């Protein structure tokens, strides 16, 4: 039983990049997946001042799979929004991301 519980807790822990994405969305950034005509996808965080940051595929995919994000599924640029679960997690991590110089 101890092994099963430790796996469960590891699975539910968010990495620093995942936490940073959630915190950025909470602060007003927009997360989009941009698709090219040949099907390639790139995830980007967009700030209100025009700054753009690339986000690794695995970060967004894992957040969506854990139901922290939902997408409007638009082509060529889908927008990802925080779910209620994602908002709660982002509130927890916002302070730690700010302290890291974000």
The class (CATH top level) of 15-99 is: mainly alpha
CA atoms within a 13 Å half-sphere pointing along the CA-CB vector of 17: 14
**Alpha-carbon distance 15 to 70, whole Å?**
19
Whether the pLDDT of residue 81 is over 80: the answer is yes
pLDDT band at 4; cut points 50, 70, 90: very low
Q: Note whether 96 and 19 are within 8 A (CB).
A: yes
Entry pTM: 0.72
Bridge partners of 31? 45, 80
What does the pLDDT average to over 51-65? 93
**Alpha-carbon distance 9 to 18, whole Å?**
16
Percent of the chain with pLDDT over 90: 38
Q: What is the pLDDT of residue 2?
A: 46
**Which DSSP letter does residue 15 get?**
P
Domain ranges for the chain: 15-99
Q: What is the pLDDT of residue 98?
A: 58
pLDDT band at 10; cut points 50, 70, 90: very low
């Amino acid at each position: 039983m101890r092994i099963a519980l430790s796996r469960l807790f590891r699975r539910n822990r968010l990495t620093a990049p995942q936490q940073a994405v959630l915190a950025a969305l909470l602060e007003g950034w927009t997360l989009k997946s941009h698709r090219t005509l040949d099907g390639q996808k790139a995830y980007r965080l967009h700030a209100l001042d025009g700054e753009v940051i690339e986000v690794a595929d695995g970060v967004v995919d894992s957040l969506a799979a854990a139901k922290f994000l939902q997408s409007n599924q638009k082509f060529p640029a889908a927008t990802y929004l925080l779910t209620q679960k994602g908002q709660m997690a982002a509130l927890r991590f916002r302070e730690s991301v700010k302290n890291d110089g974000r």
